[in-house]
Structure 1
Amino acid sequence: MELNCVRHFNTDVSSIALPQKFTFPFYYTPHTLAKIAAEELQEYLVKQQDFEHNFGLQPHQNGLIIGKMFGVLVVELPNKSLAYLAAFSGKLAESNYISFFVPPVFDTLQKNGFYKKGEELLNQYNKEIEAFENNVDYIKEKSLLAEIKQKATTDLSYLKEKNKSNKLLRDTMRKKALESHNEDVEQLLYQLNEASKNDSILLKKATKYWNYCIENQEKIVQIFDEQLATLKEKRKQKSASLQQQLFENYSFLNQYQESKSLGEIFQQNPPAGAGECAAPKLLHYAFTHQLKPIALAEFWWGQSPKSEIKKHKQYYPACIGKCKPILSHMLQGIKTDKNMLAINPAEGKELKIIYEDDYLAVICKPEEFLSVPGKEIIDSVQTRVQQMFPKATGPLVVHRLDMSTSGLMLIAKTIDIYTALQSQFIQRKIKKTYIALLDGVISTPKGRIDLPLRVDLDNRPYQMVCYEYGKPATTDYEVIATQNGKTLIHFYPITGRTHQLRVHASHHLGLHTPIVGDDLYGTKNKRLCLHASQLVFTHPITQELLTIENPIDFNSSYE
């Protein structure tokens, strides 16, 4: 059996123990074998001459800068020896095929394939539609319709204003005639009434005339519009048919050689780009050639895209929106590592009460502790404070912190206190201070970051910068100290978006320096070094301005 895409290790891996289970693809630390495979792939990417692609790593290189996700899959061959497969997400150098990598699950670029032929037909429809829209007669008739409508508006507006002016003049003349008691008053009033009728008749006739002109021209334009609509409908139907054909033919194998199409997996509505990520390509090739999957890793290569945060050589989990439904089918019957996202990280941790009175409390939440119950984990600040304050009424938790962020949270003991504190948050009267340790040196001592954020719909819970659909997000910051190549900093969030401080710290348009331990937007470490250290708010009952503090020392842990 010829396996052109199998890569044998250049490194001696004979002494490395195999993992007991396959990688859980949505949250993992790469196994040693996967790391070695990834490093060998990265070495190839540096030295290769098989393709030209601008990853944004070399100055003055031609072409649009496009970073890429790459993946490696360590496999066991039929002779029990180890090797690895490599893949890229999407296309690379405008191609689906690069000799070093596994092929796509379905090749949309195949010259004689149905998809390419379908695209050619769609392109023909596009050309016909474009030609029709630029047809001289069509443009002329539409222009004439617009001209008639404009003349009608101008003419009728003029007549209405003239009638209005004439009416005012007649009203004045009537008044004077009635006051003069002239013997000709009846004749004058009659003439004025006739003039009023004539003005009204003239406006009606003009309106009828212009409506006739418009309707007549609209019928001419409609003939063109209907022909154009027919073309667009044919294109729409062909596009839908082509998509459905693609969904049916784009199929993925699992270890039992069971095949499932994109249409079946996503119930005929897959997201754009589904199936083109590295992980499905790798597993499909392995199952097609009876190779046993051992370990998986995916990493980013190149400059970060403008909206997302991806670090060069950084390992990333498979995306949720596009890959999870596909991999759920492909990994059937394969034992994977534990889903760490389903394990309660708060077990054994306690909430610390920093301030309490009859109306409210301020607690300190440890890191890796949910603020409210999640889909799989119930244990949270909310469930804990319900036990701590059993007589309390209302929602209790006034605001939230990200699971990985530690620090101060306000707890309301009654619905009225909750409403009052919520009002202060909405009006931005509550001042919050966070302390963070950044993985690098910040040269500007203080400033403001304005980067609108929205959720990455294909890869929750990641957030991305988006100027079109993102919600406004503003953060002030002030550097406290720099030591050992790291920066201790205060963040003062003006808004409270999900992951706001983490994205604003890491994004290249923000501080371009991730928070230490940020497993989403930086590099995983002991913990996320982000702590809500101070809350300033007005007590709803006493009206006293309270400042609650709970400092933390990150530097001592990372020296």
Structure 2
Amino acid sequence: MLTEFHPLHTDLPRPCKFTNPFHYEPHPLCLLAAQEVQAYISADDGLRADADRGKMFGVLVVEADGGQLGYLAAYSGLLCGTNDHPFFVPPVFDATQPDGYFKTHEADITAINRRIDGILHSDGYVAATHELAKMKEEHMEMLNDYRRQMSQAKLKREAKRRVAEHITPEDEAAMIRESQFMKAEYKRLKRRCADEAAPVEAKVNGYEDEISALKSGRRQMSDALQRWLFSQYSMLNALGERKDLCAIFVETPQRVPPSGAGDCCAPKLLQYAYLNRMRPVCMAEFWWGASPAGEVRHHLRYYPACRGKCLPILGHMLQGLEVENDGLEPAVTPLLEIVYEDEWIAVVNKPSGMMTVPGLTKGTSVLEEMRQRFPDKPGATPVHRLDMDTSGLIIVALDMETYKKLQAQFAQREVRKRYIALLDGVPDCPVHGEISLPLRSDPLDRPYQKVDSANGKEAVTEYRVIEREGDVTRIALFPHTGRTHQLRVHCAHHDGLGVPIVGDRLYGHPGGRLCLHAEAITFTHPVTGRTMNFERKAEF
């Protein structure tokens, strides 16, 4: 029997359909397999030390060719610097062999990097660039000084014209000649400076032309090596069909595979199962160790496969399997409560599971519902948005002029909102405080948001702990900015409260509804000028 296949001795029932890798709750068989993997990691000091820095692991429950039930295990990328631990499945393609094509050509690219670095730090290049910079500074000072002389001479000529009652033709001609001479002299001075700098510039350009040629060659070699590498990832599916990563990603908007594609847990597990005639039963991925700096990951929590790398790959690899649906379609259309309405605005209480505006998910939205209820108001539009999973109050403008006025209030941060959330644990934080973590989208794993102090947009949330109810905490959240998933990330991230919201399938773990509710909102009526206060208590 293969060393990567680990038998499972259990009477647990098997699922009827294979796991949807992007939306699932771990099957009991996966939980059993994951417990064994976690015990294996804990028992190996070397593996545990490396995994403690943060690593995604995956398990795939399979039926072997003879019908025996077992599981395969995998980790993303490398573990302890290698990808050949016998307990885990091997990579789809091993690019780490020292004498292999990839490493050999990677060494050629590294050699070019060393050549570029050598030129940049060479005595000749450093001396030439310093000499040129000093010369240009001196020339600039010389030219500026002469321009000042020209300006002073011009002022004297203008003063002479103003003071003198009569300027003789000879004096006027002399002043014109002086002006013309100084302009011509300035041009001659510029040419002399350029002629003096030319040999040094040529020397610097010679070095920089060589660097540019090396960089161009390096880029071509790197692109060719990446294409070769991705062509080696020949991904199977349950129908026995093969497709390399280049062919898979050419059909996506990004056109080319991102770095690390094919090295995540799910593709490695499925590839090994197909190669060894095993039938996939169910799958799950869990995080071990510290959270990455910008992302939300919690030790031993289960997470979906990433979308940027894995969605196109698994779209191919899952063909031939009967896969569970994404679980995002509501079983019934939730009801939208209208809390207030007048000629210009409405305030509605959006239920969890309803979109604010139409999207990729099936089901109605606040926008569609309001335009159906107000057929004489075709411009009815929500002024702000709540996530599909979040419930609570939304202002709807019934015409575009009102919409623009309310949008201006949001832009100027004049609208006050209060949210209520249940946290899936007890945060170690003061009763009252403020969270400031800049956010940006994760282009390789939408719709997730990442904390990014360098490139993220300002995101500020005030919070107040209301009460601790056993293992959960009720908390009020006051967003000062309105970034996507701001409250969810600020609660879950280790630099925020460090505890996800109950039911958060993105930043915590799924199970019931997301316990986040926009409970209260205060704004100025865009027509009457009255202060408007609305409140609807959460159902959790």
TM-score tier, shorter chain, comes to over 0.9
Three-state SS of the structure 1 residue aligned to 2:457 is coil
* 1:179 to partner: Cα distance: 4.6
Counterpart in the other structure of 2:459? 473
How far apart are the structure 1 equivalents of 2:335 and 2:132?
74
How far apart are the structure 2 equivalents of 1:301 and 1:524?
18
Q: 2:275 aligns with which of 284, 288, 292?
A: 288
1:273-298, Cα deviation, whole Å (9 max, x unpaired): 11110000000001111111111010
Counterpart in the other structure of 1:399? 384
- Please show how residues 366-381 of structure 1 align to structure 2 within 5 Å: 366-381=351-366
How far apart are the structure 2 equivalents of 1:275 and 1:266?
11
How far apart are the structure 1 equivalents of 2:342 and 2:175?
83
How far apart are the structure 2 equivalents of 1:281 and 1:44?
19
Q: 1:537 aligns with which of 523, 527, 533?
A: 523
How far apart are the structure 2 equivalents of 1:117 and 1:55?
29
1:303-350, Cα deviation, whole Å (9 max, x unpaired): 111100011100111111110111111111110112213x235x2421
Counterpart in the other structure of 1:225? 208
Taking a change above 3 Å as real, the CA distance of residues 49 and 420 of structure 1, as seen in their structure-2 partners, is closer
Unaligned ranges ≥5, structure 1: 57-65, 555-559
Counterpart in the other structure of 1:274? 261
* 1:173 to partner: Cα distance: 4.9
* 1:201 to partner: Cα distance: 3.7
Three-state SS of the structure 1 residue aligned to 2:6 is coil
- Please show how residues 110-259 of structure 1 align to structure 2 within 5 Å: 110-173=97-160, 178-179=164-165, 194-259=177-242
Three-state SS of the structure 1 residue aligned to 2:185 is helix
Three-state SS of the structure 1 residue aligned to 2:49 is coil
Q: 1:34 aligns with which of 30, 36, 39?
A: 30
How far apart are the structure 2 equivalents of 1:130 and 1:317?
42
Taking a change above 3 Å as real, the CA distance of residues 535 and 247 of structure 1, as seen in their structure-2 partners, is same
Which segment is superposed worse, 299-308 or 423-432? Answer: 423-432
- Please show how residues 271-420 of structure 1 align to structure 2 within 5 Å: 271-341=258-328, 343-345=329-331, 347-420=332-405
Contact 1:51–1:98 (CA under 8 A) maintained in structure 2: no
* Structure 1 position 81 matched with structure 2 position 68: yes
Contact 2:371–2:380 (CA under 8 A) maintained in structure 1: no
Counterpart in the other structure of 2:15? 19
Counterpart in the other structure of 2:510? 524
Question: What amino acid is aligned across from residue 346 of structure 2 in structure 1?
Answer: A
Taking a change above 3 Å as real, the CA distance of residues 334 and 144 of structure 1, as seen in their structure-2 partners, is same
Taking a change above 3 Å as real, the CA distance of residues 198 and 100 of structure 1, as seen in their structure-2 partners, is same
Counterpart in the other structure of 1:461? 447
Which segment is superposed worse, 109-118 or 545-554? Answer: 545-554
Question: What amino acid is aligned across from residue 365 of structure 2 in structure 1?
Answer: S
* 1:82 to partner: Cα distance: 0.8
* 1:523 to partner: Cα distance: 2.8
Taking a change above 3 Å as real, the CA distance of residues 388 and 193 of structure 1, as seen in their structure-2 partners, is closer
Counterpart in the other structure of 1:557? none
Question: What amino acid is aligned across from residue 160 of structure 1 in structure 2?
Answer: R
* 1:81 to partner: Cα distance: 0.9
Counterpart in the other structure of 1:264? 247
How far apart are the structure 1 equivalents of 2:117 and 2:368?
60
Counterpart in the other structure of 1:59? none
* 1:358 to partner: Cα distance: 2.6
Counterpart in the other structure of 1:62? none
* 1:172 to partner: Cα distance: 4.0
Counterpart in the other structure of 2:476? 490
How many corresponding residue pairs? Answer: 535
Three-state SS of the structure 1 residue aligned to 2:511 is coil
Question: What amino acid is aligned across from residue 377 of structure 2 in structure 1?
Answer: A
* 1:507 to partner: Cα distance: 0.9
* 1:142 to partner: Cα distance: 2.1
What RMSD, in angstroms, separates the aligned Cα atoms of the two structures?
Answer: 2.0
Contact 1:69–1:278 (CA under 8 A) maintained in structure 2: yes
How far apart are the structure 2 equivalents of 1:473 and 1:54?
33
* 1:541 to partner: Cα distance: 2.4
* 1:260 to partner: Cα distance: 0.9
How far apart are the structure 1 equivalents of 2:79 and 2:227?
25
Question: What amino acid is aligned across from residue 406 of structure 2 in structure 1?
Answer: L
Contact 1:105–1:250 (CA under 8 A) maintained in structure 2: yes
How far apart are the structure 2 equivalents of 1:525 and 1:4?
35
How far apart are the structure 2 equivalents of 1:205 and 1:239?
48
* 1:202 to partner: Cα distance: 2.8
1:190-230, Cα deviation, whole Å (9 max, x unpaired): 66555444433432221121122233432232222222222
Unaligned ranges ≥5, structure 2: none
* 1:180 to partner: Cα distance: 9.0
1:106-137, Cα deviation, whole Å (9 max, x unpaired): 11101221101111111111111111222211
Contact 1:52–1:93 (CA under 8 A) maintained in structure 2: no
Taking a change above 3 Å as real, the CA distance of residues 374 and 174 of structure 1, as seen in their structure-2 partners, is closer
Taking a change above 3 Å as real, the CA distance of residues 484 and 52 of structure 1, as seen in their structure-2 partners, is closer
How far apart are the structure 2 equivalents of 1:47 and 1:149?
66
